[in-house]
Amino acid sequence: MSEQAHTSAAHHDPFVAHQFNDRAQQAEAISLGMWAFLVQEILFFGGLFTGYTVYRSYYPDSFIAGSHHLDIFWGGLNTVVLIGSSLTMAMAVWAAQNSKKSQLVLFLILTLVLGSIFLGVKVIEYTDKFTHHLIPGWDFAWAEPHGHPKHVQIFYSFYFAMTGMHALHMIIGAGIIIPLIIMAMRGKFHKDYYAPIEVFGLYWHFVDIVWIFLFPLLYLIGRH
């Protein structure tokens, strides 16, 4: 087939945008774009992880003392919730690839519900920190015998920066998944067109993986 005929055939495919020759090229471009975005996100979170590691090496006792005020139950619950949401998101991609409309809608809704539960738990945790004056700033109070107040405040600065940015990514994900659910209800996704579900799945899995690192780093290390 000549290049002109090939291009003409692609343009007759309703699932191929005009700038692409065929579905394979379009899928590769979409995937590459998402992976480029995720690499940028890795660099962003990597800076936070590096800064946290450096300061923890300077003030290990204060960071351990600060972590003792983080509730392992809530952190552990959120870990289970996000692992569950990764499963439902993976099943949503599978459903889209196999043209299973009702299952796709169900798994997307479950993913949204689990993400909302995660954010609800973070509200509970943040409220507790506010109540006990553990928000970095002028009102910060530390009366525990272990840990220097200024150094513990550095720990909580990283805690809110890292978990806050992670929560922001969850909120953005929830904002994206709602229109995807509406589109899925209208039958927009099937075995011939499921790229938006697939690339969103990559984003969701990345956000979940970030939490898998945050949970032990903030909640578990040094708790003994």
* pTM confidence score: 0.85
pLDDT in tens, 30-65: 777 778 888 888 888 999 999 999 999 999 999 999
Cβ–Cβ < 8 Å for 201, 90: yes
Q: Would you call 49 exposed, middle or buried from its count of C-beta atoms within 10 A (0-12, 13-18, 19+)?
A: middle
**Domains assigned to the chain:** 23-220 (1.20.120.80)
Q: Which pairs with CB-CB distance under 8 Å and at least 24 residues apart come from 173-179?
A: 173/115, 173/200, 173/203, 173/204, 173/207, 174/112, 174/115, 174/116, 174/119, 176/200, 176/203, 177/108, 177/111, 177/112, 177/115, 177/204, 178/112
pLDDT in tens, 148-185: 999 999 999 999 999 999 999 999 999 999 999 999 99
pLDDT in tens, 113-130: 999 999 999 999 999 999
The backbone torsions φ and ψ at residue 190, rounded to the nearest 5 degrees and listed phi first, read: -165, -175
